[in-house]
Amino acid sequence: MMERDGLDALIVCGNQYAGFEGAVFYLSGFEIVHRYVYVVLPLASEPTLVFPREAQWIGDKSKPWVRDQVWPEIPGKWIAARGRERHWRRVGIYGLDSIMAVRDYRELGQGPFQIVPVDFQFDIARAVKSDEELSEIRDAMAIIVDGFWALVDAYEPGKTEAEIMAPAVESFFARGAGPRMMNILLSGSGGEAEASFKIPGRRVVKPDDLLLYSLEIAGPGGYWVEFSRPLIGGRPSRRTEAMAEAYRLALEAARPVMRPGERASSIHRAIVEVFAQHGFSLGHLSGHSIGATMIEHPAIGQSSDVELEENMVLSLHPQVVSQDGKVCLYTQDTYRVGRSQGECLADVPWKFFNGGEKREDADARSRIRKPLWKPEGAK
């Protein structure tokens, strides 16, 4: 990618913002604990890890395979000087809009080279996952599903939203996710969920509250996955049940399109068309690619004309929103783009869970019934 775009060097940014540390881990093996760091990758020489001086004693510096490491007072000033010394003309930056520290951008903007944003190009260059990466992703999915079942087991009206979530988070941390997680919630009363995400807190759950816990973690290998299912002790409202019917049909329509040669926008279009037929709209994008970074390109949206390739990995999470924009239904699944259709990486049925389910019973039923998502090659 760097050769094609005429880049002399690439600056990859990472910081503590959940899901945005992964590109640094991907290129260097360094795990960000606090603050931020850059990987500077020249086209024709070895890479360097550039830390701000205040982060010199934060994080295990012996772990990364990038052994050249520096701790300048202002990293951007050091990078600009390196570029001047080596006569760089064009430098790509991954994370220019959302990650790079302002003080460093200010120094680079005064540097001797042209700055080129490369978020899209960098993501596309690593969008097709290797067998090793897929193994890490499947491991992360096993962790997140275990946490989901801990959450189901903990569900009980009278507890707080945070108390129900807590066993899942404990499970994630114990299995090596560490701080690489973002667990948020859509919830509401009367069998409906309000259409705004929040952090699970001290709100006491009633039987007819609809809970949509959004579980998002990266496993020990640094690869992110996302998963959720609806949870309610009572009955969903009629409006929520109508949304659920549209949701199931939309997922069934999207899965066959997750194959090589299709466009990412085709997945989005298949979902939007089903929702529209049932009188609902989409809250935001249908999903996005996912990997060492939580949100990668291509997006699963109307203008995403990237051609799919086998072993791309996608997080699909369409949000059905009511006409008045007040309530919604939202779940998540992580898919692998397969040879003929998408492979859903979580073997958990799509249904409203009520807390009475046991994992062993669900696993047994999934072996004898026709699954909603049939794994590629299954008979």
CA distances 15 to 28, 103, 240, Å, are 14, 14, 38
pLDDT for 219-262, tens place per residue? 999 999 999 999 999 999 999 999 999 999 999 999 999 999 99
pLDDT for 289-328, tens place per residue? 999 999 999 999 988 999 999 999 999 999 888 888 889 9
- Reply yes or no on whether the pLDDT at 369 is more than 70: no
Q: Band the pLDDT of 56: cuts 50, 70, 90.
A: confident
- pLDDT for 281: 82
Q: Band the pLDDT of 379: cuts 50, 70, 90.
A: very low
- Write the DSSP symbol of residue 255: G
Span(s) in the chain for CATH 3.90.230.10: 131-368
Higher local confidence (pLDDT), 361 or 24: 24
Q: What is the pTM of this model?
A: 0.91
The CATH architecture that domain 131-368 belongs to is Alpha-Beta Complex (3.90)
Query: Domain 9-125 maps to which CATH number in 3.40.50.300, 3.40.350.10, 3.90.550.10, 3.30.1600.10?
Result: 3.40.350.10
Quote the percentage of the chain above a pLDDT of 90: 85
Q: Closest by alpha carbon to 93, among 114, 70, 65, 69?
A: 114
Span(s) in the chain for CATH 3.40.350.10: 9-125
**Is 63:29 a contact under the CB 8 Å cutoff?**
yes
Q: Tell the residue number behind the tokens 């409203």, with chain if given.
A: 352
